[in-house]
């Protein structure tokens, strides 16, 4: 690949990953907003409002349960046949299910069939999303210039902020509608409209070439025949630590986006739902700048220090944040949610974009990133909704239990940052995982393209035994 071709594909990879991220997080943010405000009233019996909210968040969590299976299935394919076509398939599956949510009948129309159909759509949506973000992460890390990998890998994740921002703005505009019209047909519009993003993403991804790292792996005949076996033997340590790293980032994100909104608009607090969504909007605006900025900083000072700062910030912020949310002041609530998303969550997301792919060897990188991301999505993101809604119902809106839950997630992530070696500048053609080697290893790379796989395999074979991970 010439330098001109490489530059063109880098731009195309950035754009395609950004559009996919925007679609995924538009749908998930919108679903979270609708769960807290709409779905409990439209898809479940309203005889017990508190339990209807718990049930709605239960369906929200079902999407997370499907994600590890999607990550396992598509991650295996991505490590065997390449990244490109997996990303085409996942955008169709994920976006198609999201579009169909906008056409579902309600509980009043078809009874129990309504929540059943909603569960099916969430399963399909989660199955596709289980590999979409992992694929975008791996794609950008393998295309990015090595010395600027943190910055370039973070750029598509601006799509996350754009998708979340778009969802919050659209939702706010929808709340300006008369409530009867909003609950009748207005809520359907954003889901049906996501079909446009699917077409844009497909158009871009159809022209994308395979990543240089995977091409070199194919040329050297080092493609893994059984990536699942490898990831659960050689890559197991990386997956476990990757899950720990994402507990605060993923769980905190969904707590601020959905649980916080349900908390402050509950009968105990009584804030206006439309006003408080501005917290998510401003948080996403901050994230558009904080994600690439922290990715760039991680290129200079390392991934681990930046990531640890974000985790510690959330740990210290948890109790003041939920106490301030309990005061019932809309302006304060907007500020708390914006800081929680824009700074606490996104300071971890920025370096994570390059860090997770750097943690895994080339033969099972896609699957490793997918498993780390999606198992944590179940444990942190999915449980955040179900457990948070349950805690709200069981404790009559007690802010302390929610603060304890968030602080626990942050403590797990903080501890995990002490278990992973520094990965900045690591050569992505290496076969071994970073977690399996010494924390003193510092790979150097002077080119955006990796070394031939044969040289990497030889390096691994000749590595001294003291470099093997503890």
Q: Is the pLDDT of residue 20 over 50?
A: yes
Check whether 299 has a pLDDT greater than 80. yes
Q: What is the pLDDT of residue 292?
A: 93
Q: What is the 3-state secondary structure (H, E, C) of 398-428?
A: CHHHHHHHHHHHHHHHHHHCCCCCCCCCCCC
Mean predicted confidence (pLDDT) in 223-240: 79
**Dist CA 419 CA 427 (whole Å):** 20
Closest residue by Cα to residue 25 from 144, 125, 135, 139: 125
Task: State the Cα angle at 179 between 176 and 182, rounded to 5°.
Answer: 75
Does the pLDDT of residue 139 top 80, yes or no?
yes
Please, what is the Cα angle at 244 between 243 and 250, to 5 degrees? 70
Please say if the pLDDT value at position 278 is more than 70: yes
Non-local (6+) Cβ contacts of 405 within 8 A are 255, 384, 387, 388, 391
For the cut 60, the answer to whether the pLDDT of residue 244 exceeds it is yes
pLDDT of residue 323: 94
* Tokens 């019996």, residue located: 45
Residue 246: per-residue pLDDT: 94
pLDDT for res 439: 42
Closest to 249 in 3D by CA, of 60, 433, 416: 416
Mean pLDDT over 179-187 rounds to 85
A 10 A CB-CB count for 203 gives 11
Confidence of residue 385 (pLDDT cuts 50, 70, 90): low
Share of the chain above pLDDT 90, in %: 22
Average pLDDT, the chain: 80
Q: Predicted confidence band at 220 (pLDDT cuts at 50, 70, 90)?
A: low
How far, in whole angstroms, is CA 241 from its chain's centroid?
Answer: 16
Instruction: Give the per-residue pLDDT at 296.
Output: 94
Q: What are the pLDDT digits (tens) for 75-100? A: 888 887 777 778 888 888 888 888 89
- The terminus-to-terminus CA distance of the chain in angstroms comes to 38
- Residue 81 sits at φ, ψ, to 5 deg, of -120, -5
Please state the rounded mean pLDDT for residues 116-128: 86
Distance CA 228, CA 88 (A): 22
Task: Name the residue with higher pLDDT: 386 or 463.
Answer: 386
Q: State the pTM of this model.
A: 0.77
Quote the CA–CA distance of 72 and 66 in Å, as a whole number: 10
Nearest to 133 by CA among 337, 369, 348: 369
Q: Average pLDDT, stretch 408-430?
A: 92
What does the pLDDT average to over 12-35?
78
pLDDT above 90 (res 132): no
Confidence grade of residue 384 (pLDDT, cut at 50, 70, 90): low
pLDDT at 103 over 60: yes
Taken in order 194, 200, 203, 208, is the CA torsion positive or negative?
negative
């Amino acid at each position: 690949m010439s330098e001109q071709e490489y530059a063109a594909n880098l731009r195309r990879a950035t754009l395609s990953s950004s559009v996919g991220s925007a679609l995924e997080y538009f749908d998930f943010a919108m679903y979270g907003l609708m769960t807290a405000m709409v779905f409990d009233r439209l898809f479940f019996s309203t005889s017990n409002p508190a339990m209807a909210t718990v049930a709605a968040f239960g369906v929200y969590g079902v999407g997370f349960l499907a994600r590890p299976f999607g990550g396992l299935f598509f991650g295996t394919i991505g490590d065997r046949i390449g990244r490109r076509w997996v990303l085409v398939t996942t955008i169709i599956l994920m976006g198609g299910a999201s579009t169909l949510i906008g056409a579902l009948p309600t509980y009043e129309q078809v009874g129990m069939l309504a929540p059943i159909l909603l569960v099916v759509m969430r399963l399909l949506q989660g199955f596709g999303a289980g590999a979409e973000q992992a694929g975008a992460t791996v794609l950008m890390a393998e295309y990015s210039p090595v010395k600027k990998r943190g910055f370039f890998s973070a750029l598509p994740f601006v799509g996350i902020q754009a998708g979340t921002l778009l969802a919050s703005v659209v939702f706010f505009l929808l709340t300006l509608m008369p409530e009867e019209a909003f609950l009748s047909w207005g809520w359907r519009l954003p889901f049906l409209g996501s079909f446009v993003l699917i077409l844009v993403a497909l158009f871009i991804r159809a022209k994308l070439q395979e990543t240089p790292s995977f091409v070199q792996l194919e040329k050297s005949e080092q493609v893994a025949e059984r990536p699942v076996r490898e990831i659960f033997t050689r890559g197991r340590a990386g997956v476990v630590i990757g899950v720990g790293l994402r507990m605060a980032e993923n769980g905190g994100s969904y707590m601020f986006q959905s649980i916080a909104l349900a908390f402050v608009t509950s009968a105990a607090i009584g804030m206006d739902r439309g006003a408080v969504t501005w917290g998510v909007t401003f948080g996403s605006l901050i994230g558009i700048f904080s994600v690439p900025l922290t990715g760039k900083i991680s290129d200079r000072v390392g991934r681990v220090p930046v990531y640890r700062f974000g985790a510690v910030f959330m740990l210290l912020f948890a109790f003041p944040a939920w106490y301030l949310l309990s005061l019932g002041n809309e302006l304060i609530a907007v500020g708390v949610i914006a800081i929680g998303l824009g700074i606490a969550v996104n300071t971890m997301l920025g370096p994570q974009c390059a860090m997770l792919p750097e943690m895994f060897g080339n033969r099972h990188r896609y699957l490793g990133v997918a498993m780390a991301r999606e198992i944590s999505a179940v444990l942190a993101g999915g449980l955040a909704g179900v457990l948070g809604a349950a805690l709200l119902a069981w404790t009559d809106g007690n802010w302390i239990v929610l603060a304890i839950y968030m602080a626990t997630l942050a403590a797990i992530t903080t501890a995990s940052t002490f278990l992973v070696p520094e990965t900045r500048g690591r050569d992505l053609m290496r076969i071994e995982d970073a977690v399996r080697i010494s924390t003193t290893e510092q790979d150097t790379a002077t080119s955006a393209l990796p070394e031939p796989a044969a040289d990497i395999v030889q390096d691994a074979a000749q590595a001294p035994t003291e470099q093997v991970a503890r």
